[in-house]
Structure 1
Amino acid sequence: MEKEQHRSVIRFLHLEGKAYEEIKDRLVADYEDHAPSMTTIRYWFNEFKRGRTSVFDEGRSGRPKEVTTEDMVIKIHDIVLADRRVKIKKIAEMVDMPYERVHNILHQHLKMKKLSTRWVPRLLTVDQKRNRVTTSKECLHLFKANTNQFLRRFVTVDETWIHHYTPETKEQSKQWTSPGERAPKKAKAVPSAGKVMDTVFWYSQGIILIDYLENGKTITGQYNSELLDRFDAAFKEKRTLPYRKKLLFHHDNAPAHSSAVATEKLVELGYELLPHPPYLPDLVPCDFISYFLQGIKKLEYRWAKCIQLKGDYVKK
């Protein structure tokens, strides 16, 4: 009779005008670990709201309900909207229907499917989304105003870790064996893979400069400033024709990039900085490069998609 007791409490508190959360707190206080889930509470709350007075399950006709009615579709839809993570088995128990029928209603009638959470760098605020849209519009305008000139002027840089070697995974170590042969052995304890930080400068024609950071050093504003001098010299050697407009330089907002000494160096070199406010990891060509020219051209799609999504993250 415990579930009927739960429902009686839900009905009583509903009639008193209590909200879902207040009812949940009351049931937890009274029943502790045996309290019903929030999904169950919301389901019965909505049942009583629609006028139901009985706290007992509806009588069965000798076999589970298999007829899909409009009311049943609405009930199941309400349950799912109340708890997006509820399992089909739980819904079937709540509405007294076979698992297969609930599955059919969810997929065929409600056209719903269960998807895993998509991970994003952070949950963006309204202001951050607006800033992303503004920046994307500005960059897209520059790109479309003169695409060929944009591609000739555009240079970008990014840092990445390069591992000395990649340890073999368990899946990669699988070998064919004959009947009776034992599985091959492999020691778990192996030297950790060493790695080095490298900085890559590139443009539509290819890589301009790669810098490998010495062991024990970190990339600071001063280090980045000196690296920009080396890049400038390397770039002047590579380009065959002088540009009438400034080089269009792009980098992210890492502390070494946005430091005062690095910013002063960019001004000294006469570069025009492409805007890139915080929280734009999905709008960096280095992160979705299909190499050089095509990687830069994809920026147009990313900026347009960011505007379309009103500043939300663009799927890769």
Structure 2
Amino acid sequence: MCSKVEAPLKMEKLEYRAVIKFLHLQGKMPQKIHDEMFAVYAGVTPSYDVVKHWCRQFKCGRLSIYDEPRSGRPASAHNEETVEKVEKMVLQDRRICIDKIVQTVGISHGSVCEMIRHQLNMKKVATQWVPRVLTPQQKTRRADHSVALLALCTAHPTDWFTRLVTLDEAWIHHFDPGTKASVQWKLQSSPILKKAKVQLSSGKVLLSVFWDSQGIIMTDYLRHGKTVTEQYYSDLLKKLRAQMECKRQGVLTKGVQLLHDGTPSHTSVDAVRCAKDCGFEPVPFPPHSPDLTPSDYFLFPMLKSHLRGKRFGSDEEVVLAVESWFRSQKHDFYSNGIRKLTRRWEKCVAVDGNYIEKS
């Protein structure tokens, strides 16, 4: 007959305190008390330090084995009065931190987080940077262009991306400390707060970069004080054709899809004529849409993140750093950036032409 194995005793803290008090009053030392308790309770025995602590408490005249009441903490943190007080503080200062609420209201950090997220149904988000506030007409145009581009891509799924060349310009600063977005509390049903991003001026060069799914085709740099004119851009397109004949043999024969934004230098009569003469077919592009250009949503943010916080003493040092970073990227890096276009067009249509959040 098998004997029944008893489950190990579970010792509550009031129980072991009572045992320690009883044995202490018998005049036994902490080590002796701990040994006797271990003989009875084994693995659930409180540690020797705990036994010694309570022996010291009783020796100093303490009689109660209960925890002493704590000041400043209400019996229930989630009562209606406390919730209203927290809500009022958050609505008065959307940037208020949790620690400030804890100090003022007198409840725990965890209770404040639980209250804000589940009872007040709020969350803290960073302000979304947008190039501009879009009009209803601009949103419609962005959505329509995205539908048209999706149709073009779907019509030639095998080679459309291999024939796509994108280009853009960006200022690369000698030093970019970065810009910190403000963070505020908001209801889940409230719209995302937006404000225009401000870039501090400094020594800088204007980078023009032409790239495709295989990597960088050509780069060019303008010094501070100069601008991209239609003649300058037309000359770049001629250089691009020469570079493609060397680096992308066969692509010109298939037909190059040229994706650039709608800046005046890109869309001028001379620039459009030059693009056609070079054998490039401009891809339709909606205005005010940096979130739909691979350089703006992918390449430039990655490059500037790498350069952020680094100081350069001259334009030449900036150029060397940029070119070194371009060469260090793997082949699939550029392919992945280009192919994100399909998903971004779909998102633009899904949000009715509004700007796309980071993804």
Q: CA deviation at 1:152?
A: 2.1
Q: CA deviation at 1:84?
A: 8.3
Q: 2:126 aligns with which of 103, 110, 116?
A: 116
Q: CA deviation at 1:220?
A: 0.3
What TM-score does the superposition give when structure 2 sets the normalisation length? 0.52
Q: What does residue 133 of structure 1 align with?
A: 143
Q: 1:257 aligns with which of 257, 266, 270?
A: 266
1:126 aligned partner, one-letter code:
P
- Structure 1, unmatched stretches of 5+, are 1-62, 170-191
Change (3 A) 1:301 1:80: farther
Q: Deviations over 1:201-245 (max 9, x none)?
A: 122222222223367543200111122112112212333326564
Tell me the SS of whatever aligns to 1:302: helix
Q: Distance in 1 between matches of 2:251 and 2:119?
A: 64
Q: 2:154 aligns with which of 130, 136, 144?
A: 144
Q: How does 1:239-254 map to 2 (within 5 A)?
A: 239-241=248-250, 245-254=254-263
Q: CA deviation at 1:150?
A: 0.6
Once structures 1 and 2 are overlaid, which stretch shifts more, 206-215 or 138-147? 206-215
Q: CA deviation at 1:311?
A: 1.4
Once structures 1 and 2 are overlaid, which stretch shifts more, 127-136 or 258-267? 258-267
Q: Deviations over 1:122-148 (max 9, x none)?
A: 122221111111111111222222222
Q: CA deviation at 1:297?
A: 0.7
Residue 172 of structure 2 is aligned to residue 158 of structure 1: no
Q: Distance in 2 between matches of 1:297 and 1:128?
A: 24
Q: Distance in 2 between matches of 1:129 and 1:314?
A: 11
Q: What does residue 210 of structure 1 align with?
A: 219
- Preserved contact between residue 142 and residue 348 of structure 2 (Cα < 8 Å): yes
Q: What does residue 294 of structure 2 align with?
A: 285
2:259 aligned partner, one-letter code:
H
Change (3 A) 1:270 1:84: farther
Q: What does residue 176 of structure 1 align with?
A: none
Tell me the SS of whatever aligns to 1:147: coil
Structure of higher CA gyration radius: 2
Q: Distance in 2 between matches of 1:102 and 1:302?
A: 37
Q: Distance in 1 between matches of 2:146 and 2:89?
A: 36
Change (3 A) 1:132 1:72: farther
Change (3 A) 1:84 1:265: farther
Change (3 A) 1:83 1:308: farther
- Structure 2, unmatched stretches of 5+, are 1-72, 179-200, 300-331
Q: 1:107 aligns with which of 117, 127, 138?
A: 117
Aligned alpha-carbon RMSD (Å):
3.9
Tell me the SS of whatever aligns to 2:258: strand
Q: CA deviation at 1:104?
A: 4.0
Q: Deviations over 1:149-196 (max 9, x none)?
A: 111211111123345x65999xxxxxxxxxxxxxxxxxxxxxx98543
Q: Distance in 2 between matches of 1:303 and 1:254?
A: 20
Change (3 A) 1:106 1:239: closer
- Preserved contact between residue 66 and residue 98 of structure 1 (Cα < 8 Å): no
Q: How does 1:2-151 map to 2 (within 5 A)?
A: 66=76, 85=94, 104-151=114-161
Q: CA deviation at 1:103?
A: 5.5
Aligned residues: 229
Tell me the SS of whatever aligns to 2:128: coil
Change (3 A) 1:278 1:83: farther
Q: What does residue 336 of structure 2 align with?
A: 294
1:160 aligned partner, one-letter code:
A
- Preserved contact between residue 157 and residue 202 of structure 1 (Cα < 8 Å): yes
Residue 233 of structure 2 is aligned to residue 224 of structure 1: yes
1:248 aligned partner, one-letter code:
Q
Task: Report % sequence identity.
Answer: 39
